[in-house]
Amino acid sequence: MRLMATTMMMALPTSIALAQKTTPDDRVYVLHSEAQGTCPALDWHIVASPDGVLTGMLALPDRKMIATVSGSIVPHVKVERSGPALGGDPQIQEFRMIASEVGHHRRIANITGIIQPSGWMIAAVEGHGVVCKSIRVPLFVPAG
């Protein structure tokens, strides 16, 4: 039984990747982040669709923990008003995601952050015993 569960856990990243059919307009974020303090090393694979939907996975490098990730980019609300501008860069997008652990623990973590005009995702993760701040996840750009 344990062998079957291990085999299923090892196959999960492949099945998640296959289930996420990307289109040419999708943006893909991929990173292996190093451990720092209460932030474990994580493998990131996030897809952002043109309509702002975020899906993907996070995993510990040894696959002892795998989590599916879903969320959205927060839309900019345009409001007409008088007076001085409220500040901030309108090109920076905020996002919110939830990571749901696969398996018997079923822990969750909140992932929040911004997407910079350069395409880089700057993320913070908070969950059971995990606090990660300012993780820089690059936009994957295929060679060629």
Q: Per residue in 113-137, pLDDT tens?
A: 999 999 999 999 999 888 999 999 9
Range of the domain at 132: 26-77+88-137
Tell whether 120 is covered by a domain. Answer: yes
Tell whether 97 is covered by a domain. Answer: yes
Tell whether 51 is covered by a domain. Answer: yes
Structure tokens at 2: 């344990």
Tally of domains in the chain:
1
Question: Starting from the edge strand earliest in sequence, which strands make up the sheet with 27-33, in order?
Answer: 27-33, 42-48, 53-59, 66-74, 93-102, 108-115, 121-127, 130-137
**Residue 9 in this model has a pLDDT that exceeds 50:** no
pLDDT in tens, 34-88: 999 999 999 999 999 999 999 999 998 888 899 999 999 998 666 666 665 555 6
